[in-house]
Structure 1
Amino acid sequence: MPGLIAPSDYSQEPPRHPSLKINSKEPFNAEPRRSALTQSYITPVDFFYKRNHGPVPIVDDLERYCVDICGLIENPKKLYMRDIWMLAKYSVTATLQCAGNRRTAMSKTRKVRGVGWDVAALGNAVWTGAKLADVLELVGIPKLTSTTQMGGKHVEFVSIDKCKEEKGGPYKASIPLGQATNPEADVLLAYEMNGEPLNRDHGYPLRVVVPGVIGARSVKWLDSINILAEECQGFFMQRDYKMFPPSVDWDNINWSTRRPQMDFPVQSAICSLEDVQATKPGKVKVRGYAVSGGGRGIERVDVSVDGGKTWVEASRFQKPGIPYVVDDIHSDKWAWVLFEVIVDIINSTEIVAKAVDIAANVQPEKVEDIWNLRGILNTSWHRVQVRVGHSNM
């Protein structure tokens, strides 16, 4: 497309922070160290996880760059950056999470396929841009529309990104039209991240941000927007990112029996301690994140220092100095909540965290119960082993 190039190789990749934990070099997939992740409520761009399916696209002419809006609409349109900049500008604080977050731990139960993410394949950022609901009004689709006059019911986002799963074709995904045209859903065509223009890894010059939904639907390097009668038929909608029961394996899988995953379930993880942590007897800080999909706030985070026999409630917070209250006007509904509690540790033990959202959804206890062959949505209780060393008196 004009102004945006998808390179055929990895020779022009952008620079990345040297502290990132690299899970795949080509394509580049990396996450921060867990101890760095929850140091701030807003994740610095350098430490925001990188999820790519191919070489990172390059903008060679921002003036010529445009997005085609087409499909089941009467007035197709080419949208240039200057058109998007003229629309009302919104900022939404939202956590994006890869569906494969915590896949490595799930793979320890039974092997799964996919990038081996630890607990940091997510981040919380301030995304700024135009609301998709306003953009769609430019082509005659009113707000709160679930079906166009020509029968469109889904909005497909197509990237310039080329990936092997699509046999060299573009990455693409879709969301229901009713979600896209609802201003309260806060779906953005974003051009800024944390107050700065998007960098290349995160979709420069323009990406979709779909809050409360797995990151796979927030398409980067936007090429076109198509209004469709049915959901996107791309690989990552139809043959990936679907939740199967533990009984399904690669010999008996039938992709058509499951819907594409959208909202992510309630999730939490401890970030102040490694999987196996050595410490001295005494007070230990347990700190981490909790988040739920669909804009559901976090009602509670429970922490256990005896492997789940007894529990204490952790404090929850978002912005410094402002108490976190679910559904309060000062709380960010699409964003994670950080939690913290100081516990006394005398002997070696297992520390566990689990979160509860406002719909009373709670993380499942055992990873075995939610194991699936693609290793997505590992939301089981997060466990770390603490090894206490007693020095000689």
Structure 2
Amino acid sequence: MATRIPRIAADKLLKHATRRAPINLTTCQPCRLRTRPLHTSAPRRTSPDTNPRSASDKPASSNVRTARVAPVGWLVGGGLVASFLALSQNHDTEHLPEASVSPSGDNRDPSIPRFRLSDVRKHGPDSSEPWVTFEDKVYNITDWIEAHPGGDVILRAAGASLEPYWNIFSIHNAPHVKEILGQYMIGFIDAADLGPDGRPAAESIEDPFEDDPVRDPRLITHTLKPRNAEPPNEELDRTFYTPNDLFYIRHHMWVPVVEEAKADEFALTVELPDGEVKQYTIGELKAKFPMHKVTAVLQCSGNRRNDMTRHAGKTNGLQWGVGAISNAEWEGVRLSDVLADAGLNTTPDQPEANSLHAQFTGAEAYGASIPLSKALSPTGDVLLAFNMNGEPLPRDHGFPLRAVVPGNVAARSVKWLNKIVISDEESPSQWQRRDYKSFGPNEGPNPDWEKAPSIQEMPITSAITGVWVGDCVRKGKVPWMGATENHGTTNPCPETTPDNEPIALQGYAYSGGGRKITRVDVSLDGGATWDQAELVDDCSNPATPCHGNKTWGWTRWRYEGTLPVLSLLPTTTATPALPPALQKVGQDCEDGFGRSRGLLGKKDEKNKKCTTLIVKATDESYNTQPESHKGIYNVRGNLATAWHRVKICPECTKGNGKPGGLTWSTGETYGCGFRREAEEVRVGMERAASLVNGKK
């Protein structure tokens, strides 16, 4: 029979699991949660002590096609599998159907009950005890359903298998999730329902991502379903405003479908602390309130997580390079205006504003919140945005309505916004309570999630996004520089590099809370010496004016200098000759980020003499970046803001029967966010996925 897990043990399991991996978990607080307005065709179970939902409780239509795909998203993208972690006490099943006897040839534990699939199907959406299956096992999810908002949606999977959903949401098909799922096991599927492979017949479901928008092929994709992608460095800050189709994408589920012709009918519900509810359509918001523009960065808390992984330790989460950040001009109505019209009497200077929160919920059920004081601040510039860079919001970025919270982590700028609740507590979602937080480096994989505040304003950061060296600079291949004289290099490989090789760098700097960047420091020799970069004054350009009460956008920077002198290993006969195709190293710089054509084998790469480029920024409050990721390490890899380091290496080349020479290759760039490292991340992800799927 199933056994009950003690509450304390289950709580430890919850904490352990949520600190191990980037899963989607909803914190359960049954006594304090508010029901989310989700659309579903699944029937709602009732019991003697619960009342059916009244007509007045039903959300107004928002023209969102969620009924078909919502169950899948909750099941795996942000719900069932991940939310097994949210239950603090396992269910003690008291009314199991009679278990069948293990037949001959069934080598599984005979003490564990067997159930026919026909029994499992009886525990579907209408059942008082919903079950699911995975592989050859049966799981009871009753108590979790009772404690969790959105349970109606999750019930769509009851009586069936999780496997087809995990085949789509492959990010959750991982060992640690299976360990948690195991805590809900109540028995095996009867051998009579298993095929030759020891599994029941495969089920098929609709792909909830089939209606997702088409994305720009230049984006570097970290996960396909849901899509999470960042622009390549050469495109990230090429312009002050990141183009809409290259703006980084961070999704937890699918993209809701809202018909453009009916966008103005999309409904936003506002609920006040006294229970007063008011609704606005997009058309009403546009007609009733003045429009405002704000220039603002949105940045994921995991930006540069790959940097922290490589320099401090293993982190759980998407291994972003430097591109989980983008800058745009947003246009919409002020949240403070809407709240005042809805009847909220609180003002920013009242103590109450510091104790209340504005909870945001999106059409795909994502939830987050900000302090009410930020929402009401006359200089906070919080928008309910319809437009992005002068165009209607793209579907990937919240069409038809999203919150834009300048200066705060992008996780609070909820997309596809359809509900705002002013409450005395933060959003109960896991994205508020157990995800976007940071801890001390000593707290390891088991931090106390309750003691750390949710991330709101972002700390200062900067990154190098472009490196051009040698002939790349001389030939004018740097986008913001003119062509210069080409001196070329044909001498035999010397023992030291010349000290007059030109170098050009570019990048971005940003500080949360609206704090202006005042200085960007650059080092070409690993931090031994420093110089200052030129800050690009984009806001003075009539083509890119800055909007808002504070500096919410990023600051682009540029730097020109000369490379330091490096001692090189002397050329020996043991040095392998390069293939003819690789002999002209560093000369092809047409895109400014050409893939290296001079790679030696790994045994030779470790002997290279390289130099490390570093950037760090300072804002108007004299906040600056920490030197090392080791001092700010946390297992979630959040707020990876240490000095950004990029290594470049010279190459000794051999000509066709002529003496070789030394050249610096833009393609030979090692560092977080650069194509070479991004390729390593991609290969690592593919390798991990193949291990999960049982491939060698």
With normalisation by structure 1, the TM-score equals: 0.90
Aligned position for 1:381: 643
2:619 to 335, 344, 357: 357
1:303-355, Cα deviation, whole Å (9 max, x unpaired) = 001101110010102417659xxxx9999610000011101015431110000
Taking the aligned partners of 2:320 and 2:240, their CA distance within structure 1 comes to: 21
Matches within 5 A, 1:221-240: 221-240=416-435
Distance 1:56 1:146 in 2: 38
Contact 2:291 2:333 in 1 (8 A): yes
Q: 2:336 aligns with which of 124, 133, 139?
A: 133
Distance 2:533 2:395 in 1: 37
Give how far 1:65 is off.
1.3
Q: CA deviation at 1:127?
A: 0.3
The more displaced of 209-218 and 344-353 is: 344-353
2:373 pairs with one of 178, 181, 184: 178
Q: What is the rounded CA distance, in whole Å, between the counterparts of 1:155 and 1:72 in structure 2?
A: 10
The answer to whether the aligner puts 1:197 opposite 2:415 as a matched pair is no
SS of corresponding position for 1:107 = helix
Residues in 2 aligned to 1:80 and 1:330: alpha-carbon distance in whole angstroms: 25
- d(CA) in 1 for partners of 2:280, 2:537: 36
Distance (whole Å) between structure 2 residues aligned to residue 94 and residue 390 of structure 1 = 45
Contact kept, 8 Å, 2:380 with 2:549, in 1: the verdict is: no
Q: For residue 59 of structure 1, what is the aligned residue in structure 2?
A: 258
Distance 2:510 2:352 in 1: 37
Could you tell me which of 262, 266, 278 is aligned with 2:456?
A: 262
Q: Secondary structure at the match of 1:144?
A: coil
**Is residue 571 of structure 2 the alignment partner of residue 344 of structure 1?**
no
Q: How many residues align?
A: 377
Q: Which runs of 5+ in 1 are unaligned?
A: 162-169
Alignment-derived partner of residue 305 in structure 2 = 103
Structure 1 position 2, deviation (Å): 2.5
Instruction: From the superposition, tell whether residues 68 and 297 of structure 1 become closer, same or farther in structure 2 (CA, over 3 Å).
Output: same
Distance 2:457 2:515 in 1: 10
Q: State the partner residue of 1:369.
A: 631
Contact conserved, 1:73 with 1:227, CA < 8 A, in 2?
no
d(CA) in 2 for partners of 1:67 and 1:97? 25
User: Which residue identity lines up with residue 626 of structure 2 in the other structure?
Assistant: P
The structure showing larger relative contact order (alpha-carbon pairs under 8 Å, at least 6 residues apart) is: 1
- The worse-fitting range, judged by mean Cα deviation, of 129-138 and 58-67 is 58-67
Residue among 286, 292, 314 paired with 2:533: 314
- In the TM superposition, what whole-angstrom CA distance separates every residue of 1:182-235 from its partner, at most 9, and x where no partner exists? 221000000000000001100000000000001000000011000101111210
Q: What is the one-letter code of the residue matched to 2:304?
A: R
SS for the counterpart of 1:53 is coil
Higher Cα radius of gyration? 2
User: What residue identity is the alignment partner of 2:447?
Assistant: I
Q: Is residue 291–residue 337 contact of structure 1 (8 Å, CA) maintained in 2?
A: yes
2:466 counterpart SS class? coil
Structure whose residues are more often strand by fraction: 1
CA distance in 2, matches of 1:212, 1:36: 23
Partner of 1:118: 321
Separation of aligned partners in 1, 2:451 and 2:503 = 46
Amino acid at match of 2:313: R
Q: Is the 8 A contact 2:354 2:373 kept in 1?
A: no
Contact 2:467 2:503 in 1 (8 A): no
* Compared CA separation, residues 361 and 57, structure 1 to 2 (3 A): same
User: Which of residues 269, 273, 289 is equivalent to 2:467?
Assistant: 273
| Aligned AA (1:19) | R
> In the alignment, what sits opposite 1:48?
247
Change (3 A) 1:269 1:149: closer
- Matches of 2:386 and 2:423 in 1, distance apart? 25
Tell me if 1:156 matches 2:359.
yes
- In angstroms, what is the RMSD of aligned CA positions? 2.5
Q: Write out per-residue CA displacement over residues 138-173 of structure 1, whole angstroms, 9 at most, x where no aligned residue.
A: 112247346698997111001111xxxxxxxx2111
**Paired residue for 1:248, among 426, 438, 443?**
443
Q: Distance in 2 between matches of 1:113 and 1:255?
A: 15
Render the CA deviation track for 1:231-250: whole Å, top value 9, x for unaligned: 11210111011110111223
Q: Report SS of the residue matched to 2:538.
A: coil
Q: 1: CA distance between counterparts of 2:335 and 2:319? A: 33
Structure-1 residue corresponding to 2:4 = none
- Name the structure 1 match of 2:284: 83
Q: Does 1:188 align with 2:407?
A: no
Give me the identity figure in percent: 38
Structure 1 residues 4-83: aligned runs within 5 Å: 4-6=64-66, 7-8=69-70, 9-60=208-259, 61-73=262-274, 75-83=276-284
Q: Does the aligned pair in 2 maintain the 1:59–1:205 contact within 8 Å? A: yes
In structure 2, relative to structure 1, the CA distance for the partners of 1:75 and 1:151 (3 Å cut) is: farther
Match of 1:317, as an amino acid? V
Relative to structure 1, is the Cα distance of residues 143 and 309 closer, same or farther in structure 2, using a 3 angstrom cutoff? farther
Per-residue CA deviations over 1:16-61 (Å, capped at 9, x if unaligned) read 0001000111110000001211110111011110000001111033
Q: Does 1:287 align with 2:506?
A: yes
- Could you say which residue in structure 1 is the equivalent of 2:79? none
Contact 2:384 2:403 (C-alpha < 8 Å) held by counterparts: yes
Letter in 2 for 1:160: A
- Relative distance call for 1:151 and 1:352 in structure 2 (3 A) is closer
Alpha-carbon distance in 2 for matches of 1:150, 1:354: 35
Contact 1:303 1:314 in 2 (8 A): yes
Q: Relative to total residues, which structure has the larger helix share, 1 or 2?
A: 2
Structure 2: how far apart are the matches of 1:63 and 1:304? 52
Corresponding residue SS for 2:338: helix
